[in-house]
Amino acid sequence: MQELIRNIAIIAHVDHGKTTLVDAMLKHAGVFRENEQITERVMDSNDLEKERGITILSKNLSVHHGRFKINIVDTPGHADFGGEVERVLKMVDSVLLLVDALDGPMPQTRFVLKKSLDLGLKPIVVINKVDRPGARPAEVVDMVFDLFCELNASDEQLDFAIVYTSAKLGYAMLDMNAASSSMEPLFAVIESNVRPPTGDQNAPFQMLVTNIDYNDYIGRIATGKIFNGKVTAGENIALVRRDGSVVKGRISKLLGYEGLKQVDIPSACTGDIVTVAGFSEVGIGETLAAADNPIGLPYVSIDEPTIAMNFIVNNSPFAGREGKMVTSRNIRERLDRELRTNVSLRVEDTANPDTFKVSGRGELHLSILIENMRREGFEMAVSKPEVIFREEEGKKLEPMEYLVVDVPSEYQGSIIEKMGPRKGEMVAMNPMGDTIRLEFIIPARGLIGLRGEVMTETRGTAVVTHTFHDYAPYKGDIPGRKNGVLIAMELGETTAYSLDALQPRGVLFIGAGVEVYGGMIIGQHAKDNDLDVNPCKGKKLTNVRASGSDDAIKLTPPRLLTLEQALEFIDDDELVEVTPQSIRLRKKELDPNRRKRSSKA
């Protein structure tokens, strides 16, 4: 059986079509019935993934093709979820490196490829979206080869197989001139190029845990690849923790994959990816081993977080109105639960018992956690994201990002101009038809608030992507937000009359009939200072009416900020108040007199 198993992960930059390719492979392998209703991107199973069209969590499935059993792992494409990619690469024997036939290799392509090359995996290159207008597959293959060389791939890794696909239309080809109407060529390449799992069937059982989940019926379940030996349901085994301690237990349930479904299996052998239930406390990176010979497996190290923010118990006048989970105990328990499965997250206590410092891979990584928490009924305030500095040999180092901006050529000057104050250094400029690709190495601090500015400047036409590059010496100060904010002075409900008078002062974030409190931010000031305003003032009415004095009030629609935009917008002395129903901006210090005193100090 071991010789007929193929374990592969699909890795790529965001939006290059990983999850769509999985759909096409499932259809070809006959996982769905003829008349079965199929949703698009079937692997993006949680609500946030479906809404945003991105993969956040890596997921497993298995298909049978002829004599072969192919275990496939779908991975996220965003750099912020790189921890998910790093840990699953330990489970597989090869990767399908997916590259868009028009875009070519992008920042995250470089990141995931480097990780797989470092582990000694031999990738299969899949040039996807060959049906896209303007596709240039031959050119993209050359770019991929150059990237392999740049990342010091071995001679064996450089001799990669190439498959051309259109995942959306469901066909694959070994040659651009060949005709094809199915994914058969891709399966043939996987079966012939991916080596079967290594490991000794007769050695004591060892399985590395790379994923954790919870099931209401069977409790905590651990997923991973069997490196050595075999295992049967009901068998007594040991859990080897990362500190070396050993806990004995029994397998209450052994699950394998059939298509997308988990099914009960009596036994599993070396190389298979299975899920085991039976231990109430099991963590990622720990080893399930034979009870009579418990030996732990080495675990791949995960890159450290680069961004941190504070999660604070909400203390605004509206605290506890909309959320069910509002105390520090609730928030701490939820963060501890997240730490069990989110390997690239870190949580630290601070001097204040109501504040937790949470560190992650990027703004998106942390904002997805915040979004999940608010949907579960949590209410809290979060501070501005800050980068994590390092100290080495007395030098202050900061994280640098590799930034790629694709823009229409008429905007290239303004984008380059924006990078100067943010300490961005241009490393490449490549024309791509009507657009131009600008590549920079920029401090992670310089990315905070950048996306919104670039989108405004280019009228929404820019495509901005970035991935972690390296740590480098501190680059000096980067100017913050240029504009001040409009701050509500009192508790009350906004009126159209008062907002109409405030419109010339700046951009409003709220409309009429919204409850506000003193210290809440209601808009962006047109000047660089903060301004206290009263948005709740009503019109003084009398019995006498003069004709023409009641002009119709025309309010400009407010600029409603998403969670990510709010986190990018706030300054060091501001917070984002997050509840299940609202996202509000506020000053840390709500009292205006205290604010003035602290600003002078």
18 is in an annotated binding site: yes
Distance (Å, rounded) from C-alpha 93 to C-alpha 105?
22
Report the alpha-carbon angle 337-342-345, nearest 5: 100
Cα–Cα distances (Å) from 398 to 107, 305, 456, 567, in that order, read 19, 12, 28, 20
Query: Sign of torsion, CA 321 577 363 350?
Result: negative
Locate tokens 């509206």: which residue?
Answer: 318
Binding site annotation covers 349? no
Strands of 506-571, DSSP E: 506-508, 515-516, 520-525, 531-533
3-state secondary structure 211-242: EEEEECCCEEEEEEEEEECCEECCCEEEEECC
Of 309, 335, 331, the closest CA to residue 319 belongs to 331
Is there a contact between 8 and 194 (Cβ–Cβ < 8 Å)? yes
Residues 503, 500: Cα–Cα separation, whole Å? 5
355: helix, strand or coil: strand
Is 467 annotated in a binding site? The answer is no
**17: annotated binding-site residue?**
yes
Q: Pairing mode, if any, of strands 506-508 and 273-277?
A: unpaired
Q: Confirm whether residue 131 is marked as ligand binding.
A: yes
Q: Is 15 annotated as a binding residue?
A: yes
Identity (one letter) of the amino acid at 167? A
Which CA distances in Å does 510 have to 394, 515, 522, 530, 562? 47, 10, 6, 17, 13
CA distance 441 to 490: 45
Q: What is the DSSP letter of 61?
A: E
Q: Is 28 known as a binding-site position?
A: no
19 in a known ligand binding site: yes
Sequence-ordered list of residues with C-beta below 8 angstroms from that of 492, at least 6 positions apart, any chain: 515, 516, 536
What contacts 351, CB < 8 A, 6 or more positions away? none
Alpha-carbon distance 70 to 96, whole Å? Answer: 13
Q: For residue 575, with 0-12 CB atoms within 10 Å meaning exposed, 13-18 middle and 19 or more buried, which class applies?
A: buried
Per the annotation, where are the binding residues? 15-20, 128-131
Per the annotation, where are the binding residues for GTP? 15-20, 128-131
